[in-house]
Amino acid sequence: MKTIVIVAHPTVNSSGTQQFLKEALQSAQEVKWHPLSWALMQDAGTIVQERRMLHSYTRIIFQFPLYWHQAPALLHFWLEKVLQTTDREWLAGKELGLVVSLGRPLSVYRQGGSVGVSLSELLSPFSAIAHQLQLKLLPFFEITQFYYLSAVQKQCLLIKYLQYLELEQPATFAQKEEWFVKRFRKMLQEQGDTEVTLPQKELVKLFQERAEELAELKAELALMKEEDED
């Protein structure tokens, strides 16, 4: 699966959140970072290029902050210029995901909250777009109050973000685990065998043993259920 992240942020280079996410993508092999800009959108040749580019990806992600509770004008402009209502023909079957960064906690997006409307409602136009173009809509991925996150919370965000982009959705626990082991192994390989500490090696080993144990337990449970049904 190949994923393109279409980033609609008017000042993407000075956004801490967006730069963090961009950095995160450096370790993702099959994910393209594609920031939009007004300058880019003024060029007539861009439209053809943008359309051609979309053909190569099976998962399309729109990534943006909310401005006035909606995607920024830049994304709307891109949608108006690049997509056509007849594009269902070649877009159908691809996946559409949304990565939305919020300055406020998720709890304000509900009845009685300071926004008073749910994020699902605010993002419903994308649900209608997906429906119209026969795209498979993924549950949106929200990033709330990035600036208040601790270093550990940022690491957790990074993992969840990469899994959102790279894994089949919704991802099972086993898939997430497998993703983790692969990543960890790759990281250790890149560090070089001499630099890898014993605790690091032990951790990967432990992680994998646990995964195997879990798989065995699941198989046992399945067997028990089968016997019950007999």
Query: Which positions touch a copy of itself (CB under 8 A)?
Result: 10, 67-74, 76-77, 79-80, 83, 114-117, 121-122, 124-125, 127-129, 131-132
Cβ–Cβ < 8 Å for 11, 39: no
Contacts (Cβ under 8 Å, ≥6 apart) of 5: 21, 25, 31, 32, 33, 34, 61, 63, 99, 165
Q: Smaller CB distance to a copy of itself: residue 126 or 161?
A: 126
Count of CB atoms situated within 10 Å of the CB of 75 = 20
Exposed/middle/buried for 213, CB within 10 Å: 0-12, 13-18, 19+? exposed
Nearest to 24, CA basis, from 147, 165, 174: 165
Q: Smaller CB distance to a copy of itself: residue 37 or 208?
A: 37
Q: Smaller CB distance to a copy of itself: residue 127 or 163?
A: 127
Q: Closest distance between a copy of itself and the C-beta of residue 65, in Å?
A: 11
Q: Closest distance between a copy of itself and the C-beta of residue 14, in Å?
A: 16
Q: Smaller CB distance to a copy of itself: residue 82 or 162?
A: 82
Task: Name residue, tokens 């065998």.
Answer: 193
Cβ–Cβ < 8 Å for 109, 117: yes
In angstroms, rounded to a whole number, what is the distance separating the alpha carbons of residues 21 and 3? 14
Q: Smaller CB distance to a copy of itself: residue 8 or 143?
A: 8
Q: Closest distance between a copy of itself and the C-beta of residue 111, in Å?
A: 11
Q: Closest distance between a copy of itself and the C-beta of residue 92, in Å?
A: 15
Q: Closest distance between a copy of itself and the C-beta of residue 138, in Å?
A: 16
